[in-house]
Amino acid sequence: MYYVYFLKSLEKDFRYVGYTSKLKSRFEAHNKGLNQSTKHYAPFELEAYVAVKTKKIAKDLEKYFKTGSGIAFARKRILTYEALA
């Protein structure tokens, strides 16, 4: 399985969408500052994730969730409004 996940910084106004096949270790890596694009925003909470069968679907879904319509969909159907406010 592959996971498209949503992170929220606990200290700054920053959200991140990514994908992985190892959700737990990837989440821990983000919180330890091992990811270049998120290290300045740690610590994080995992807001939500979506499990899919293939890497291609996960990559495509991650890309979608980074678009305007994908953000709107995530706000309305996956995340709480407060999480993105």
The shares of helix, strand and coil residues in the chain, as percent rounded to the nearest 5, are 45, 25, 30
Q: Quick check: 84 pLDDT over 90?
A: no
Count of helices and strands (H, E) across the chain: 4, 3
**What region, left, alpha or beta, does residue 45 occupy, with left being phi > 0 and alpha being psi -120 to 50 degrees?**
beta
pLDDT tens digit string along 24-82? Answer: 999 999 999 999 999 999 999 999 999 999 999 999 999 999 999 999 999 889 986 55
CATH number at residue 11: 3.40.1440.10
Rounded to two decimals, what is the model's pTM? 0.90
Q: What Rg, from alpha-carbon coordinates, does the chain have?
A: 12
Please report the pLDDT score of residue 65 as a whole number: 97
Domain extent, residue 57, equals 2-84
* Count of domains forming the chain: 1
Please report the pLDDT score of residue 70 as a whole number: 96
- Average confidence (pLDDT) over 18-29: 98
Which tokens go with 82? 């407060």
Please report the pLDDT score of residue 83 as a whole number: 47
